[in-house]
């Protein structure tokens, strides 16, 4: 993805990235200025590849639990340049399964500026009409996607709950992350089952046991040299990227979550032990490696792990006597 997007002028790109970043900070609920050249340049060479990594990684999370089975159509609401659709179309398994993709984006400038990418999608239909009506898709085999578009909206579009599947990605900020946890409750109330990152349909432990925590995943970035040169001129170094996400369907998960847990926190060293927050139900729980056992592990946030049967439970800790495989 990075290799196809190498810019001609690193210095100009750095200026454009900083300018667009400032715009997002100053206008957190504002519409992206797709008609501006600086925005197109910054998005194509900086924000798009990073967002592609986020979507691509969430897709892998979904495939791990068989989330994408039987989908034939994807609808990308607030598609922008079509990053989410592009990641779905580039997936080696899904590209042979999906029959068509629909991109809904109100800005003609966004669609026009990224026509070369959209041409690589799967029989794409692009529309600037903000409606989910009359799209001629089998709703039982359709995945509705919101990739960084809900943050610009006050409510979901009419008809959102008529589709079999939902893939939602939001910025991994406190505000957007907590908002997504609240939305999760609405999805369940509407008859949806959460397939990932949650392994259960109960209350979210981060929402009911904390006023500050929010659920987000972390993915590593393997960037080329030109991108690293660009970041030398930027205040943020993206060795990893984060995102909050929810994958939901109207059908129950087919994956067996028995004795499984999701790592929802980073590894934290404390006196005498190392702890890592996990999710497998409504309780706030930690895996704990006692340093005296010399079995400490560093596991990636967001991974799905199998729990051994010999865990020692103490307070909110599940103490590991050996190591996780």
What average pLDDT does range 143-155 have in this prediction? 90
Average predicted confidence (pLDDT) for the chain:
92
Secondary-structure breakdown of the chain: helix, strand, coil percentages, each rounded to the nearest 5? 35, 25, 45
d(CA 51, CA 82): 11
**Of 62, 113, 59, the residue nearest 89 (C-alpha):** 59
Whether the pLDDT of residue 66 is over 80: the answer is yes
Q: Is 49 helix (H, G, I), strand (E, B) or coil?
A: helix
Tell me the pTM. 0.93
- Which comes out higher in pLDDT, residue 33 or 323? 33
Measured in degrees and rounded to the nearest 5, phi and psi for residue 130 equal -85, 75
List, as own/partner pairs, every contact residues 273-281 make where C-beta atoms lie below 8 angstroms and the sequence separation is at least 24, other chains included: 275/317, 278/305, 278/318, 279/197, 279/198, 279/199, 279/200, 279/204, 279/205, 279/206, 279/215, 280/199, 280/200, 280/307, 281/199, 281/200, 281/202, 281/205
Looking at the DSSP assignment, which residues form a beta bridge with residue 287?
Answer: 276, 318
DSSP state of 11: H
Q: What integer pLDDT is reported at residue 31 of this predicted model?
A: 81
What average pLDDT does range 91-120 have in this prediction? 90
Q: What integer pLDDT is reported at residue 324 of this predicted model?
A: 83
User: 155-210: per-residue pLDDT in tens?
Assistant: 899 999 999 999 999 999 999 999 999 999 999 999 999 999 999 999 999 999 98
* Model confidence band, residue 3 (pLDDT cutoffs 50, 70, 90): low
Please report, rounded to a whole number, the percentage of residues in the chain having pLDDT higher than 70.
97
For the ranges 10-14, 51-55, 294-298, which has the lowest average pLDDT? 294-298
Q: Give 187-218 as a DSSP string.
A: HHHTT-EEEES-SSSS--HHHHS-SS----EE
Going along the chain from its start, the domains and CATH numbers come out as: 3-249 (3.40.50.150), 260-320 (no CATH)
Strand 260-263 with 304-306, pairing: antiparallel
Whether the pLDDT of residue 4 is over 60: the answer is no
d(CA 303, CA 265): 10
What average pLDDT does range 207-220 have in this prediction? 92
* Model confidence band, residue 120 (pLDDT cutoffs 50, 70, 90): confident
Start-to-end Cα distance in the chain: 32
What average pLDDT does range 16-32 have in this prediction? 89
């Amino acid at each position: 993805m990075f290799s196809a997007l190498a810019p001609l002028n690193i210095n100009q790109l750095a200026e454009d990235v900083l300018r667009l970043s400032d715009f997002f900070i100053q206008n957190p609920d504002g519409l992206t200025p797709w008609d501006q050249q600086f925005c197109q340049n910054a998005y194509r060479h900086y924000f798009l590849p990073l967002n592609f990594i986020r979507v691509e990684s969430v897709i892998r999370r979904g495939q791990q639990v068989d989330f994408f089975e039987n989908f034939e159509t994807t609808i990308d609401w607030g598609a922008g340049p079509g990053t989410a659709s592009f990641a779905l179309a580039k997936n080696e398994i899904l590209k042979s399964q999906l029959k068509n993709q629909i991109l809904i984006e109100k800005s003609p400038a966004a669609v026009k500026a990224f026509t070369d990418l959209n041409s690589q999608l799967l029989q794409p239909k692009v529309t600037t009409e903000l409606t989910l009506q009359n799209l001629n898709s089998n709703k039982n085999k359709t995945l509705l996607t919101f990739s960084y578009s809900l943050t610009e909206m006050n409510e979901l579009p009419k008809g959102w709950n008529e589709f079999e599947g939902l893939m939602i990605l939001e910025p991994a900020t406190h505000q957007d992350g907590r908002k997504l946890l609240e939305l999760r409750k609405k999805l369940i109330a509407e008859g949806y089952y959460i397939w990932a990152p949650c392994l259960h349909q109960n209350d979210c432990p981060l929402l009911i046991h904390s006023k500050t925590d929010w659920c987000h995943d972390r993915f590593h970035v393997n960037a080329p040299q030109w991108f690293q040169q660009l970041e030398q001129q930027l205040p943020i170094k993206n060795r990893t990227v984060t995102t909050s996400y929810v994958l939901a369907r109207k059908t129950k998960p087919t994956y067996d979550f028995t004795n499984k847990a999701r790592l929802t926190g980073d590894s934290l060293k404390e006196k005498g032990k190392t702890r890592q927050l996990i999710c497998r139900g409504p309780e706030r729980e930690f895996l704990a490696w006692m340093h005296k056992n010399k079995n400490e592990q560093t596991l990636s946030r967001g991974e799905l792990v199998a729990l051994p049967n010999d865990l020692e439970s103490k307070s909110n800790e599940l103490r590991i006597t050996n190591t996780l495989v």
